[in-house]
A and B are shown apart, each in its own frame.
Chain A
Amino acid sequence: QVQLVESGGGVVQPGRSLRLSCAASGFTFSRYDMLWGRQAPGKGLEWVAFISYDGINKYYADSVKGRFTISRDNSKNTLFLQMDSLRTEDTAVYYCGRSLSFDYWGQGTLVTVSS
């Protein structure tokens, strides 16, 4: 069955960096576009970044453009999100998702940006 497992979350000070990972299994990872989304405490869902199946095309939400970088390693079935220059408003549970319609979601990893 399809499984997406995020890791790498934690508490970090404003301005610092963090790298999230998402390990995929149960499907042919290299054939699927992948996404990151997030949910701030008590708030709704927000799309963060997209990467095409081959890693060539990438798109970002304006709120993270220039600070976050999405990437993937198809040989290791793993999706990444490099988060630099973190701000307090980036505090959220971060989810990886499969395909533009988020047909599968991981369980999420909490990122807390606080001094």
Chain B
Amino acid sequence: DIQMTQSPSSLSASVGDRVTITCRASQDIINYLAWFQQKPGKAPKSLIYAASSLQSGVPSKFSGSGSGTDFTLTISSLQPEDFATYYCQQYNSYPLTFGQGTRLEIK
């Protein structure tokens, strides 16, 4: 199984900050990586697919990069609605696997 490791597990930031979350795969997943945002009590929402492609309707303040085993999600100019938990997911091979999540909190 491919293990997905996110860092950091939690992050405190201020409104207006730019933050980066990292996701590392235990083996090459090419670019078969997605990023999700989840708010408490809500379903996850897709942000990025194929490592760097923005889902329709997602603001351009979200961006993804990387290939192979190392990937990043960057959020620029944080707003109050961006404070949530973020997950990465690989879909290169079964079983599909998620990172453990990164909780982004207001400082």
Contact with B along A38-65 (1 / 0, CB 8 A): 0000001111001000000001011000
Give the size category of A's interface with B. 10 to 19
Q: In the complex, are the beta carbons of A102 and B94 less than 8 A apart?
A: no
Q: Is the interface of B mostly helix, strand, loop or mixed?
A: loop
Given known contacts A44-B101, A45-B89, is B45 in contact with A105 (CB within 8 Å)?
yes
The reply to whether the CB of A27 lies closer than 8 angstroms to some CB of chain B is no
Nearest opposing residue in chain B for A105, CB measure: B43
Determine the chain B residues whose CB is within 8 A of the CB of A44 once the complex forms. 87, 98-101
Contacts of A102 in B (CB 8 A): 34, 36, 44, 46, 89
- A11 in the interface (beta carbon within 8 A): no
From residue A110, how far is it (CB to closest CB) to chain B in Å? 11
**CB-defined contacts of A59 to chain B, threshold 8 Å:** 94-95
Report Cα–Cα, A61/B45, bound state, in Å: 22
Contacts of B62 in A (CB 8 A): none
The reply to whether A47 and B96 contact each other, CB–CB distance below 8 Å, is: yes
Please, how many angstroms separate the alpha-carbon atoms of A107 and B39 in the complex? 12
Shortest A13–chain B CB gap in Å is 26
Q: Do B44 and A45 touch across chains, with their CB atoms under 8 A apart?
A: yes
CB distance from A102 to the nearest CB of B (A): 6
CA distance A35 to B4 in the complex (A): 19
Does A101 contact B43, Cβ atoms closer than 8 Å? Answer: no
Beta-carbon contact of A106 and B55 below 8 Å: no
Can you pick out 15 interface pairs between chain A and chain B where the beta carbons lie within 8 Å of each other?
Answer: A35-B96, A44-B87, A44-B100, A45-B38, A45-B87, A45-B89, A45-B98, A47-B97, A47-B98, A95-B44, A100-B91, A100-B96, A103-B46, A104-B46, A107-B43
Q: Which residues of A contact B (CB under 8 A)?
A: 35, 44-47, 50, 59, 61-62, 95, 100-108
